[in-house]
DNA sequence: TAAGATTGAGTACTCAATCTTG
DNA sequence: CAAGATTGAGTACTCAATCTTA
């Protein structure tokens, strides 16, 4: 007489696990760069990258495009402001929100990190090969675009 | 006369960012399951999944196969032991190490989570389609197998 | 009442230091 | 001294509660 059938489950074929492992592997090297060069946090780097891309925007906007939690954004913004990497100005249209904008110092840092990021990404894609690099981007975009159960958001 | 050229860098094409977003999206739904059903942490779930797969093993073994930090494993094991989901016994060959093993209660929980994980993974792959699901697994494996700059480890 | 944003408390993580055995 | 493992201190994250304006 046998016990309950073993759930023939294997971590090594489990997509969430594989994706997390790969994401960690891909992120580690670049994290070393923004940490050692500028003492930044991952969240701080992402906030800065969004400001660098979009220019002036509110914390709410950053949350919307990046899917970072609002409290993480709030604390990252406060830290970047203390370091004089961004400034905030009360929005005229909606006085609950601040308009955020990189300072000259912030733009310089973003330029430096942007160059390193481009190099880093090119290197990753080269290691992967053109075929797999393209496949990966395509699949990751599909994941982000997918329906419930596969979305970064979960405010429902 | 122009300023420094803008680093035509875009977060949305940056592989580490895309991978992290996709990993978060893919993990969130399953995290809800082990958190709400069993009050587990992600690290605790992974430790349990490895023990469920390999049977008896040491904390060091878990670190080696999963690339989880040893202090995270140590604290997860301590917590699982307090909940009587695993037992430890001093190894005879190397008395620095403990042999870890799921209890009956731990095996039951693993069976439950394993079933849910299989369902969850099948659902993700179905949403993605057979083609992309296969591409993704293949590319993620390539990333894990790749050389320096693309490895989970960094003990060099 | 809801939305943008911040704060505080509790939890989990990171890194260095430590303990024990090899 | 090196390796398996744990501990402590500092950091970052999570969730609920709060404050202000719409």
Task: Kindly report, residue by residue over A65-109, the tens digit of the pLDDT.
Answer: 999 999 999 999 999 999 999 999 999 999 999 999 999 999 999
Token pair listed for B138 = 């293949």
**Which residues of chain B from 6 to 25 reach within 8 Å of chain A, CB to CB?**
6-11, 13-25
- Cα distance between residue A155 and residue A18, in whole Å: 25
What residues form DSSP beta bridges with A98? A90
**CA–CA–CA angle B43, B49, B53 (5° rounding):** 150
pLDDT of residue A8: 85
CB contact under 8 A, A143 and B26: yes
> Which of B3, B5, B14, B50 has the highest number of chain A CBs within 10 A, making it the mutation to test binding with A?
B14
Q: Look at B150 and A9 and tell me if their CB atoms are within 8 Å.
A: no
For chain A, list residues with pLDDT below 50. Answer: 2-3, 147-148, 151-156
By percentage, how much of chain A surpasses pLDDT 90?
84
Query: Which pair of tokens denotes residue A108?
Result: 């310089």
Secondary structure (H, E, C), B100-126: EEECHHHHHHHHHHHHHHHHHHHHHHH
Give B-chain residues touching A147 at CB under 8 angstroms.
127
Is B92 near chain A, with CB under 8 Å? no
Percent of chain A beyond pLDDT 70?
A: 89
Which segments in chain B show pLDDT lower than 70?
1-7, 147-156
* pLDDT at site B7: 61
Of B21, B137, B141, the CB nearest to A67: B21
Q: Answer whether B100's CB lies under 8 Å from B42's CB.
A: no
CA pair distance B82, B34, nearest whole angstrom:
18
Whole-model pTM above 0.85?
yes
Please report which residue ranges of A83-156 form alpha helices under DSSP H.
104-128, 130-145
């Amino acid at each position: 007489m046998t016990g309950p059938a073993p759930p023939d489950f294997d971590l090594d074929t489990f997509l969430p696990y594989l994706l997390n492992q790969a994401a960690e592997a891909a992120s580690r090297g670049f994290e070393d760069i923004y940490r050692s060069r500028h003492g930044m946090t991952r969240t701080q780097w992402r906030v800065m990258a969004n400001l660098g891309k979009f220019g002036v925007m509110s914390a709410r906007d950053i949350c919307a495009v990046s899917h970072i939690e609002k409290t993480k954004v709030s604390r990252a913004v406060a830290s970047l402001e203390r370091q004089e990497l961004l400034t905030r100005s009360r929005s005229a249209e909606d006085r609950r929100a601040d308009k955020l904008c990189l300072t000259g110092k912030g733009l310089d840092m973003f330029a430096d990190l942007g160059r390193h990021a481009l190099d880093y990404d090119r290197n990753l894609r080269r290691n992967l090969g053109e075929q797999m690099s393209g496949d990966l981007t395509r699949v990751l975009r599909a994941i982000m675009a997918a329906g419930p159960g596969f979305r970064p958001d979960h405010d429902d």
